[in-house]
Structure 1
Amino acid sequence: MKKNNPKVTIVVVPRERFSFSIESLKNIYDITSYDFDLIYVDGKSPGYLNRFLERYSKEKGFKHIRTNHYLHPNQARNVGFKAVSEDTEYVIFLDNDVLVRKNWLTELVKCAEETSAALVGPLYLEGDVGEERIHMAGGKMVVDESDGIKRLSIDMHHHMKKVSELEEPLERFQTDNIEFHAVLVRKSFLDKYGPLDDELLTTREHVDICLIAKEAGLPIYLEPKSVIHYVYPYPLKLTDFRFHFFRWDKQGTITTIKRFEEKWNIHLDKGRVEVINSRKKKAVKNYIKNKLGMAS
């Protein structure tokens, strides 16, 4: 939904595949009632998607920015942010593989305005609409220096629980941790502390922005009245594989970890390199199983 100079601009960026982009984008326009501008950052998507985005951008009036090379998420977010209007108060970074639920944007903005939060995250669910498994609902980030080496522990509240399993309904609360699947960022925060660190290629992008906010003494909130779904990528389409492998590049992860450690003087578990690299193996296995008609 669009009016002249709305206070919100949604910046959609590629996360790890292209094949869910059309469903995700149509869902935004079908579900969202709050006024917004939208910028779609298209990093070398397949031809069919580029053609759709060109048509749909004219129909809906959003800005379609295309590059002739793949982009890592923070790189894409920075491209989108540069195109955000000066009249914008809030930037919503949204991955291209999510589905949103009714009033998701209204509740994010309401939370930001009532709390003066720099960052606001929704309740992050996993799977399609109708599935109620929690990906994360905020969390704690604690730096431990007991052995002379700074280590960061991150707790994802209610990870993998079903909403129905919670003892009490979730309510808005101040948190240390949100994720980039969907996040509201106050534009004045990015004007002062941005751009996002585009040397973080494969991991810890959200941790970085949360640490910046915490260091500045600015509040981060989780607003569970806003709900989005991160939709599983597997099995991938053939047109997804090159970008998926680019996104989860092993050397890129090593470089990212080194950058994060040097920036924050925090030691990261090097096992994360293999965790991220394993996503490529999982993609191949799921594709083969799907072609053979086997359960994934």
Structure 2
Amino acid sequence: MTQTDNSNAPRVTIVVSPRERFEQAEMSLASCFEKTDTLFRMIYIDGGTPRAIAHTLKEKVERRGHIYLRRDGFLTPNDARNLALPLIDTEYVAFIDNDVVFQPGWLDALIRCADETGAGLVTPTILVGPAARMPDLSIHHAGGILKVEEDEHGKTMYRRHGFEHTRYLEMKDELKRQETGCTEFHVVLARKAMIDDIGPFDPNLVGFTDEIDMALAARAKGWKIFYEPDSVIAYAVGKRLTWRDRPYFCVRWSPGRVMRAERYFYDKWGLTHDFDRQRNFLRDHRRHAFPMKSMQKIIGWRATVGLTAILCNTVSAISSWRLIRPNPTPQHTRQ
């Protein structure tokens, strides 16, 4: 909801950035406008959205007096977020992906938690599944554990999402506000002072660890991270990828690019290399680009996994020229 009363200036800026696809973007933006009663500013970062979709997004964002920034090439999520940072002059910033949907009161609850706890970061209840079934979905992230432990073999990282894969409506009454170890970038509220303290997002991180890097940096500076159960959003999945989505999806999840970023992250924090989880995710997640469920019944799982990898690598190689090289030294302008 947008208002122009300067005597009641918004306390929060919503920054929208691309995650892995574009076809959900209009639905996500409509959900944000419909389900958000808190006064806010918005900075919408568009990296390579197909022009028919981009035209609609731009019109809806700018008609409400918000900022729409477009780059014709593909952007990594951290690079997109860094583009928005110099324009933020509110107390809080809510980073959201372009493929999430919301329950009413989601932003109020995040801000209330930050006000009452002094947290630098607040994470909502994140569900996963088709948007039409919201909120009768499984929990993806309800707080969780992020620990770095050291022994004679080196430093290892342990991460686990709270209540993952359990049904939200069955567990709803058991979810309590509490300090937590990490967040997810699907939706996260950050205190602007914390962002100023830790600096811009690392442009080298293009895979799985952008939110972990932020959490570790925030904790190193003494900022608390809280989980707020009354804020509920969903990472909307279920719709098949179209040919308009596949180029960005395959570039985004290119194994070579992602695994270079993972090795960089582990070296940055002095962690022992352990990449089984990442490799398994890439193998399984990239199959969304070319599901081939019928073919799997004929040629088997292993063969379809191999064929999917070939197709995704081919699409990525053809489309990688569209990826805008992240700025290695993003400037963070303080307001």
**Residue 166 (structure 1) aligned to one of 155, 158, 171:** 171
How many angstroms apart in 2 are the aligned matches of 1:21 and 1:262?
Answer: 34
**Residue 76 (structure 2) aligned to one of 68, 72, 79:** 72
- Alpha-carbon distance change, 233 to 239 in structure 1, aligned in 2, over 3 angstroms: farther
- Percent identity of paired positions between Structure 1 and Structure 2: 34
**Residue 136 (structure 2) aligned to one of 122, 125, 131:** 131
The answer to whether the 8 Å contact 2:14/2:43 transfers is yes
- After TM superposition, the structure 1 = structure 2 runs for residues 255-294 of structure 1, keeping only pairs within 5 Å, are 255-271=260-276, 272-285=278-291
Comparing 266-275 with 168-177, greater Cα deviation is found at: 266-275
SS in 2 for 1:279: helix
Residue 143 of structure 1 deviates from its aligned partner by: 1.8
Q: CA RMSD in A?
A: 1.7
How many angstroms apart in 1 are the aligned matches of 2:122 and 2:115?
Answer: 10
Comparing 195-204 with 143-152, greater Cα deviation is found at: 143-152
How many residues are treated as equivalent by the alignment? 287
The answer to whether the 8 Å contact 1:234/1:287 transfers is no
TM-score normalised by L of structure 2: 0.82
- After TM superposition, the structure 1 = structure 2 runs for residues 109-124 of structure 1, keeping only pairs within 5 Å, are 109-124=111-126
How many angstroms apart in 1 are the aligned matches of 2:294 and 2:67?
Answer: 37
SS in 2 for 1:77: helix
- Alpha-carbon distance change, 229 to 67 in structure 1, aligned in 2, over 3 angstroms: same
How many angstroms apart in 1 are the aligned matches of 2:176 and 2:272?
Answer: 33
- Alpha-carbon distance change, 25 to 207 in structure 1, aligned in 2, over 3 angstroms: same
- Aligned position for 1:219: 224
The answer to whether the 8 Å contact 1:250/1:276 transfers is yes
**Alignment deviations for residues 61-112 of structure 1 (CA, whole Å, 9 cap, x no partner):** 111100121011111111122222x2x0000000000001110000000000
Gaps of 5+ in 1: 290-296
Matched letter for residue 2 of structure 1: T
The answer to whether the 8 Å contact 2:62/2:68 transfers is no
Matched letter for residue 204 of structure 1: T
- After TM superposition, the structure 1 = structure 2 runs for residues 45-194 of structure 1, keeping only pairs within 5 Å, are 45-84=49-88, 86=89, 88-127=90-129, 128=131, 129-166=134-171, 168-194=173-199
Gaps of 5+ in 2: 296-335
Residue 211 of structure 1 deviates from its aligned partner by: 0.7
- Aligned position for 1:294: none
- Alpha-carbon distance change, 83 to 156 in structure 1, aligned in 2, over 3 angstroms: same
1:40 equivalent in alignment to 2:33? no
- Alpha-carbon distance change, 143 to 21 in structure 1, aligned in 2, over 3 angstroms: same
TM-score normalised by L of structure 1: 0.92
